[in-house]
């Protein structure tokens, strides 16, 4: 079996926004407490950050980091998380039935963001919070001095503004589970008021309005249309969320889900164009895919109910090889749609549906870590159109599907190609042809191979699924060729 990936250096989709390789840290389960922050750990630095976790996160080079939620944010009051720690209240988080001690808040998150070179992306509370509370937070973060909240920040020991330019107007407000959920037009009015006050406080903000958080909700696209018709010129991005899973234990079908991610992006982008045209506005709204991942096992019962505890074990998904292939599929889809997807956030980064798990002082790198690492290293440049010519299979839910899922990024005289082999049985020969230039040489490449779809890393066997350097690429007459084992992932950079 042979698949050819056809590229042309002039057939460009658009520059890949680095923020597409973003992450998400929510006050949920053990993401913050016992995840990034654990003062009692032997790995803790002087501020309580876990240095082992930080080193692992550093390898993923996350860009935009969304914080502090998620469902959590719809009941969160940012003032609870600033000022002297011994004066901060312990409160009940209703979203995850947990206890929140507020030891980590805005200033601590900013400290972590600076350490890891993250672009902070704060979500305001539009569930129980007010537009005014949202704009006060902008003042606290961004205004140098001379007014109430700016001076409060200075009083808390932070003389220089944090300069947070990227903000989300609430979270999943279309979801009936969301605290403060309202119909689309009611949310849109709230979002518009918040957006205007926030931009009056700092005109340089970029704002993300809540779009549909799942394509299977009955309000999918209707919600987006109503919201955009109200807020159009006040916001810059509309959000999309997506969690997928292999509930039916049908691996080929699960692996084909990437096709529906393409569709979700294309449908939402089309809706944005429609509203733009219908309302005769020149402003383009782009997409912020600000929650995405595989999540289906730890999704009900005790896995989502914190039972009033601090840092309960919630949403602790254990990932395997097939999940990693789907994760590469998400990223391939974002790269293929670089013209419209400008921000995307892996949900989440530690312990909660995450590539990294902690257990006491131990840390485990899960399978999904690797495709992210393989791609983020090679993320700089312009996305090229990818024409994949090769064998296909019939997926029950998504129809005809290419075995090879791919994307490509050109950066000067180099092209990086990403490919996932969805064939669970056969080796596939992959050829890369760039129509207008010859591939000169391989600069470097990695491959991820496992022992079957359910192969996974555990604390007892932590290195079963991991990427390794790969040089078995043959370049002849300007065409690259290599073999991909079943269910494998490739990322390679070529000189052209
Ligand atoms: O990421 C976990 C949860 O999934 C988030 O809190 C929520 O926004 C989504 O439903």
Closest CA to 267 of 317, 206, 211, 320: 211
Q: Is residue 24 part of a domain?
A: yes
> How many domains does the structure of the chain reveal?
2
User: Can the peptide bond before residue 70 be classed as cis, meaning omega within 30 degrees of 0?
Assistant: yes
Domain limits at 86?
Answer: 17-379
Let me know whether 312 and 403 are in one domain: no
Let me know whether 350 and 431 are in one domain: no
Give the model's pLDDT for residue 283.
87
Let me know whether 32 and 111 are in one domain: yes
290 lines ligand 1 (CB under 6 A): no
Residue 434 CA to residue 7 CA, distance in Å, equals 5
69 lines ligand 1 (CB under 6 A): yes
Q: Is residue 8 part of a domain?
A: no
Q: Is residue 3 part of a domain?
A: no
Let me know whether 368 and 402 are in one domain: no
Closest CA to 191 of 229, 149, 242: 229
Let me know whether 406 and 354 are in one domain: no
Let me know whether 370 and 464 are in one domain: no
Domain at 274, CATH number: 3.20.20.80
Would you name the residues annotated as active-site residues? 172, 291
| Ligand 1, atom 2: closest residue by C-alpha | 70
Let me know whether 393 and 344 are in one domain: no
| Ligand 1, atom 9: closest residue by C-alpha | 70
Q: Is residue 1 part of a domain?
A: no
98 lines ligand 1 (CB under 6 A): no
Let me know whether 353 and 418 are in one domain: no
Let me know whether 293 and 187 are in one domain: yes
Domain at 471, CATH number: 2.60.40.1180
291 lines ligand 1 (CB under 6 A): yes
Give the model's pLDDT for residue 233.
86
Give the model's pLDDT for residue 280.
87
The CA-based diameter of the chain, rounded to the nearest angstrom, is 69
Q: Is residue 2 part of a domain?
A: no
Let me know whether 399 and 298 are in one domain: no
293 lines ligand 1 (CB under 6 A): no
Q: Is residue 36 part of a domain?
A: yes
The last residue of one of the domains, among 340, 357, 379, is 379
Pocket test for ligand 1, best of 26, 29, 210, 344 (most atoms within 8 A of CB): 26
Pocket test for ligand 1, best of 94, 98, 243 (most atoms within 8 A of CB): 243
Q: Is residue 239 part of a domain?
A: yes
Query: Per-10-residue mean pLDDT for the chain, 496 residues long?
Result: 97 98 98 98 98 98 98 98 98 98 98 98 98 98 98 98 98 97 97 98 98 97 96 93 98 98 98 92 93 97 95 97 98 98 98 98 98 98 98 98 98 98 97 98 98 97 97 98 98 98
- Å from CA of 257 to ligand 1 middle: 20
Q: What is the arrangement of strands in the sheet containing 428-434, beginning at the earlier edge strand?
A: 387-389, 2-7, 428-434, 479-484, 474-476
Instruction: Phi first, then psi: give them for residue 400, nearest 5 degrees.
Output: -65, 125
Give the model's pLDDT for residue 87.
97
pTM: 0.97
Let me know whether 362 and 390 are in one domain: no
Give the model's pLDDT for residue 279.
87
Q: At a CB cut-off of 8 Å and minimum separation 6, what does 79 contact?
A: none
The last residue of one of the domains, among 379, 396, 427, is 379
Q: Is residue 338 part of a domain?
A: yes
Let me know whether 273 and 393 are in one domain: no
Pocket test for ligand 1, best of 71, 173, 210, 306 (most atoms within 8 A of CB): 71
348 lines ligand 1 (CB under 6 A): yes
Give the model's pLDDT for residue 221.
98
């Amino acid at each position: 079996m042979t698949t050819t990936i056809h590229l042309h250096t002039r057939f460009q989709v658009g520059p890949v926004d680095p923020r597409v390789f973003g992450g998400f840290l929510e006050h949920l389960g053990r993401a913050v407490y016992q995840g990034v922050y654990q003062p009692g750990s032997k790995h803790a630095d002087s501020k309580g950050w876990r240095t082992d976790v930080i080193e692992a996160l550093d390898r993923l080079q996350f860009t935009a980091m969304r914080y502090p939620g998620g469902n959590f944010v719809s009941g969160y009051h940012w003032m609870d998380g600033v000022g002297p720690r011994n004066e901060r209240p312990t409160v009940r988080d209703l979203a995850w039935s947990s206890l929140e001690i507020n030891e980590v808040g805005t200033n601590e998150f900013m400290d972590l963001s600076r350490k890891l070179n993250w672009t902070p992306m704060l979500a305001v509370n539009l569930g129980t919070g007010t537009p005014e509370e949202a704009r006060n937070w902008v003042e606290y973060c961004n205004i140098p001095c001379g007014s109430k909240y700016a001076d409060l920040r200075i009083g808390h020991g932070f003389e220089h503004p944090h300069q947070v330019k990227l903000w989300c107007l609430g979270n999943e407000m279309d979801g009936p589970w969301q605290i403060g959920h309202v119909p689309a037009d009611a949310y849109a009015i709230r979002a518009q008021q918040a957006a205007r006050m926030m931009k009056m406080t700092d005109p340089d903000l970029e704002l993300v309005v809540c779009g549909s958080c799942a394509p299977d909700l009955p309000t999918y696209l209707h919600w987006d249309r109503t919201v955009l018709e109200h807020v159009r010129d006040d916001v810059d991005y509309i959000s999309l969320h997506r969690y997928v899973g292999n509930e039916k234990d049908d691996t080929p079908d699960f692996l084909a889900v990437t096709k529906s991610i393409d569709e979700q992006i294309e449908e939402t982008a089309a809706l944005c164009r429609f509203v733009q045209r219908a309302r005769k506005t020149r402003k383009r709204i782009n997409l912020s895919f600000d929650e995405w991942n595989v999540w289906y096992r730890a999704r009900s019962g005790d896995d989502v109910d914190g039972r009033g505890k601090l840092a309960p074990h919630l949403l602790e998904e254990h990932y395997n090889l097939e999940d990693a292939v789907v994760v590469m599929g998400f990223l391939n889809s974002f790269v293929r749609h670089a013209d419209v997807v400008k921000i995307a956030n892996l949900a989440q980064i530690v312990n909660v549906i995450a590539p990294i798990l902690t257990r006491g002082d131990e840390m485990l790198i899960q399978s999904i870590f690797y495709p992210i690492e393989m791609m983020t290293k090679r993320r700089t440049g312009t996305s090229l159109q990818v024409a994949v010519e090769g064998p296909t299979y019939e997926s029950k839910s998504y129809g005809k599907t290419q075995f090879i899922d791919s994307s490509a990024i050109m950066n000067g005289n180099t092209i990086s190609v990403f490919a996932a082999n969805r064939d669970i049985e056969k080796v596939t020969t992959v050829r890369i042809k760039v129509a207008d230039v010859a591939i000169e040489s391989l600069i470097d490449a990695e491959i991820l191979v496992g022992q079957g779809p359910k192969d996974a890393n555990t604390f007892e066997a932590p290195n079963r699924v991991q990427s390794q350097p790969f040089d078995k690429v043959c370049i002849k007459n300007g065409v690259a060729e290599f073999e991909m084992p079943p269910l494998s992932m490739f990322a390679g950079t070529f000189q052209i």
